């Protein structure tokens, strides 16, 4: 019995050593891949930073209002953000590749699934971000135009536009992630259609006089405005 146990222990020990001996090279390769990945990611980050600097992306981002959004979220400027993003994406990619080299059971499959899901996550984040930027920009544009034109309730108009764009952006994000696709599409269609219908009814039926006055004012204002304000130049 003692010998059986000893033999068993020897065998297990041997298996363990064998496993470690088999694992170590893969582990080393994983480390090498991770280190190479770090270097490649760094190189890509600096190259992208330089290229984006030439295209003056930060300036465009300022004009589009994206920089402000970033600042509000305590994020770095666009060029730096994209450079860092590319760094992390590249390095995480290499890490995942390195992990897959370990051949841990089940891990490869999860990694594979993650890899497949990553582009969608990336696109979803991008859609949300763009949606935020566009909503911000267009709502502010509408607000300014409405205020300067003397229209009543400019804030309502501005918020409506922001609301619509956000709804659209969220719906597209969820659809991209594949979360309750049908439900989201239907809900969006209903909400959007109902909002538009409601606005039309409210304006056309409930606000006939207002509608008429607005039209008259719009057609009359264009001339009156020129007459009643001093010529600026």
Partner 1 sequence: MAEDVLLSDDLLRQLMSVGEVDLLVGMSSHNAANTVSHALDAIEESFQRNFVRQRVVIVNVGGGDKDEDGVEAKGQGNLAEKVRLPGIISLRTSHRVTANISGPPSAGIALRTILAAADLLRARACAVVSPAASNLTPDSVANLLRPIYREKFDFVAPLYTRNRYQGLLARNLLYPMSRALFGCGIRELFSDEWGFSGRLAALCLNQDVWHEEAIQARPEAWMGISAISSDFRCCQAFLGEKSQATKGLATDIVEVLRQTVGTLFWCLEARQSWWLDCGKSQPVPTFGPAHELTSDPTDLDRHRIFEMFRSGVTELEPILSSILDPETHSEIKSIVSLEEGKFRFKSDLWVRTLYDFAASYHHAVINRDHLVQALAPLYRGMTYSFLVEHSDSSPAEMEAASEMLCGEFELQKPYLMERWKAKVEVKS
Of 90 and 136, which has the nearer Cβ to partner 1?
136
d(CA 155, CA 165): 15
Q: How far is the CB of 224 from partner 1 (least distance, A)?
A: 8
Task: Provide the residue count of the chain.
Answer: 233
Query: For residue 88, what are the CA distances in angstroms to 43, 114, 140?
Result: 12, 15, 33
Of 116, 148, 182, 205, which lies in the binding site for partner 1, with binding defined by CB under 8 A?
A: 148
Give the dihedral sign, CA 101/105/107/113.
positive
Candidates 56, 113, 155, 212: give the one binding partner 1 (CB under 8 A).
155
Other beta carbons within 10 angstroms of residue 7's beta carbon come to 10
List the interface residues with partner 1, window 191-220 (CB under 8 A): none
Return the number of the residue (209 or 227) whose C-beta is nearest partner 1: 227
Whole-angstrom Cα distance, residue 45 to residue 52? Answer: 10
Using the contact rule CB under 8 A, the part of the chain among 9-17, 93-101, 138-146, 205-213 near partner 1 is 138-146
Dihedral class, residue 152 (left if φ above 0, else alpha if ψ from -120 to 50, else beta): beta
Range in contact with partner 1 (rule: CB under 8 A) among 140-148, 164-172, 181-189, 195-203: 140-148
| Per-position x/- string for 52-81, each x denoting binding to partner 1 as judged by CB under 8 A, each - no binding | -------x--xxxx-xx--xx-x-------
223 binds partner 1, rule: CB under 8 A: no
User: Binding string, 12-51, against partner 1, x = CB under 8 A?
Assistant: ----------------------------------------
Q: Cα angle vertex 150, ends 147, 153, to 5°?
A: 65
171 in contact with partner 1 (CB under 8 A): no
**Helix (H) or strand (E) run with residue 130 in it:** helix 107-149
| Residue 139 burial (CB count, 10 A) | 21
Q: Which residues of this protein are in contact with partner 1, per CB under 8 A?
A: 59, 62-65, 67-68, 71-72, 74, 137, 140-141, 143-148, 150, 154-155, 224-233
């Amino acid at each position: 019995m003692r010998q059986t146990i000893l033999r068993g222990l020897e065998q297990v020990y041997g298996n363990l050593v064998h496993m470690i001996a088999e694992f170590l090279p893969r582990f080393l390769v994983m480390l090498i891949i991770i280190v190479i990945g770090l270097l490649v990611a760094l190189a890509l980050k600096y190259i992208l930073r330089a290229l984006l600097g030439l295209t003056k992306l930060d300036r465009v981002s300022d004009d589009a209002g994206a920089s402000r959004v970033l600042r509000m979220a305590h994020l770095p400027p666009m060029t730096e953000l994209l450079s860092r993003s590319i760094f992390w994406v590249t390095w995480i990619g290499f890490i995942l590749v390195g992990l897959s080299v370990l051949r841990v059971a089940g891990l490869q499959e999860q990694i594979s699934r993650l890899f497949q899901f990553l582009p969608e996550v990336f696109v979803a984040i991008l859609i949300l971000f763009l949606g935020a930027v566009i909503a911000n920009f267009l709502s502010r544009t509408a607000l300014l135009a409405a205020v300067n034109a003397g229209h009543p309730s400019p804030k309502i108009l501005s918020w409506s536009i922001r609301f619509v764009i956000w709804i659209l952006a969220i719906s597209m994000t969820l659809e991209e992630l594949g979360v309750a696709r049908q439900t989201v599409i239907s809900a969006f269609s209903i909400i959007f259609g109902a909002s538009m219908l409601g606005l039309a009814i409210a304006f056309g039926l409930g606000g006939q006089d207002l509608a008429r006055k607005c039209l008259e004012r719009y057609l009359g204002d264009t001339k009156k405005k020129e007459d009643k304000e001093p010529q600026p130049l």
